Amino acid sequence: MIGITAFGGYIPRLRLSRKAIVDANAWANAGLRAYGRDERSMCNWDEDSLTMAVEAARDCLTGVPRDAVKALYFASTTFPFEDRQNSGVAAEALNLKDELETLDLAASQRAATSGLIAALKAAGSGPLLFVAADKRRARAGSTQELLWGDGAAALLLGSENPVAEFLGSYSEAVDFVDHYRGQYREFDYQWEERWIRDEGYAKIVPPVLDGLFRKTGVQPADVAHFVFPCTYARLPQSIARKAGLREEGVRGNMHAVCGETGAAHPLVMLVDCLEAAKPGDLILVAGFGQGCDALLFRAGDALPKLAPRSGIKGSLERRKAETNYSKFLAFNDLTAIERGMRAEADKQTALSTLYRKKDMLLGLVGGRCERCDTVQFPKSNVCVNPNCNAIHSQVDHPFADTPARIRSYTADRLTYTPDPPAHYGMVEFEGGGRLMSDFSDVDEGRVEVGMPMRMAFRIKEYDPQRGFTKYFWKAVPA
């Protein structure tokens, strides 16, 4: 019985007020006022689709041995690297074993649902981790800027005690171009909304749902939850009626709390649904984009027994309101601002060093002395315990999931950071080990010695001359 054995999610902490966007741009387009309610999720300056995918995957793998994972598939339309396997970087950050199949899936808003269908077919050979994340950029003052949000979701697929059994899928490929982003282009080009709604969604989705019901033998009225990402009001209900689904089963699109998270949104909504589903519930998931995918799941008896995790609900509860639209523009490189002379240093990454130290840099792996059990970061040839000082006695010791506390800190407005002041300091890990670390997601004036922290995979810096993103781990509030 193949299905979903665990799930996780991640929505960035910052939530940008749509009113702040409208107030800045309605002078040019008064029609934006219709979208000025609620808020959208917003990545911090050091977050992207890769860092969000890692966070969702860590949440998904709560209580799961990392060595058990046999493959990692990563779906996104906003990969930080066009020619470097992004799933491979995620695997290093997650400390998965080297004997691993990795795959990037892109180029369509249904990359996640199409990829999930393929992953479910491959999951019979062992647990497969499937992640999806998007951080889409839109022109300032556009409707898309208001409707979109940033987020990620992760599913562990396999046959052992599934929390949701996979019952079947049905797909149709149709080259209906509702939007596109050509090569060397920064932003998507969007077509007319009524055409997309009436000629696209309304005509392409219902036959796919009918095909799924014919294939699986399930009656539409028996479906408890209909997961269908769509920003058009009342269209999901209209499609549900046409397909014979119960309208009360249509899941909310989460537009008010985070916006549409791109290719990841079907999975973000699915994780949100699984957090509320009961054993036996039938869950229908649809993904639209140059055709349509439809997948059917049945919630299993193992669902209530799944180890507690943050999930989508937990991420949404971590919310911090953001009303500074200028900060959003700066974080997304949508405006040219003076960053000062301290931002002008050459940020070239030594790729040979990155490779040799990849466990330390990407996986936050330190050392543990086999003689005295002292742990330290970074790993070294000599144990740091003055009563030991054993040579070549250390084995790998991962720190990424170890709780920590602030031992000392500073808030510095001289050191360059895109979001001043720069917070950094010494964190001490539970069980031993210390690290001089950058802090992220902290509020000025609210950092204290002894404050509980956790480590998060984040952007360390970006090399604009070569287009290379450097990643490392930062301490964030627990």
Does the predicted TM-score (pTM) go above 0.85? yes
Q: Where are the domains of the chain?
A: 3-331, 341-364+399-477
In angstroms, the CA 238 to CA 146 distance is 24
For the segment 340-362, the average pLDDT, to the nearest whole number, is 93
Residue 86's pLDDT band, with cuts at 50, 70 and 90, is: very high
For the segment 49-62, the average pLDDT, to the nearest whole number, is 98
Q: Count the helices and strands in the chain (H runs, E runs).
A: 13, 22
Q: Is the pLDDT of residue 164 over 90?
A: yes
Q: Is the pLDDT of residue 106 over 90?
A: yes
Give the amino acid at 352.
S
Q: Indicate the helix (H) or strand (E) that contains 409.
A: strand 404-412
Alpha-carbon Rg for the chain, nearest whole angstrom, is 23
pLDDT for 342 equals: 84
Same fold, 3-331 and 341-364+399-477: no
pLDDT for 177 equals: 97
Strand partners, 129: 72, 156
In angstroms, the CA 75 to CA 196 distance is 23
| CATH number belonging to the domain at 341-364+399-477, selected among 2.40.50.840, 3.10.20.30, 2.60.40.10, 3.30.70.100 | 2.40.50.840
Contact 435, 402 (CB under 8 A): no
- 77, two tokens: 């339309």
- 175, two tokens: 């080259």
* pLDDT per residue as tens digits for the range 419-463: 999 999 999 999 999 999 999 999 999 999 999 999 999 999 999
Contact 367, 378 (CB under 8 A): yes
Report the first-to-last Cα separation within the chain, whole angstroms. Answer: 37
Q: Who contacts 399 (Cβ-Cβ below 8 Å, separation ≥6)?
A: 364, 365, 366, 375, 377, 429, 433, 435, 455, 473
In angstroms, the CA 205 to CA 287 distance is 9
Q: Is the pLDDT of residue 345 over 90?
A: no
In angstroms, the CA 362 to CA 51 distance is 11
For the segment 299-313, the average pLDDT, to the nearest whole number, is 97
**Cis bond leading into 308, ω under 30°?**
no
pLDDT for 124 equals: 87
* 224, 229, 232, 238 alpha-carbon torsion, rounded to 10°: -30
Q: Who contacts 383 (Cβ-Cβ below 8 Å, separation ≥6)?
A: 369, 371, 372, 374, 376, 389, 390, 391, 393, 394
Which phi and psi angles does 356 have, rounded to 5°? -65, -30
In angstroms, the CA 85 to CA 92 distance is 11
In angstroms, the CA 59 to CA 209 distance is 31
Q: At CA 291, angle to CA 288 and CA 294, rounded to 5?
A: 60
For the segment 350-377, the average pLDDT, to the nearest whole number, is 97
Compute CA 171 distance to the chain's CA centroid, rounded to the nearest angstrom. Answer: 25
* pLDDT per residue as tens digits for the range 268-282: 999 999 999 999 999
In angstroms, the CA 384 to CA 372 distance is 10
Q: Is the pLDDT of residue 157 over 90?
A: yes
pLDDT for 355 equals: 97
Q: Look over the chain and give the mean of its residue pLDDT values, rounded to a whole number.
A: 97
CATH architecture of 3-331: 3-Layer(aba) Sandwich (3.40)
Q: What percent of the chain lies above the pLDDT cut of 70? A: 100
In angstroms, the CA 92 to CA 355 distance is 11
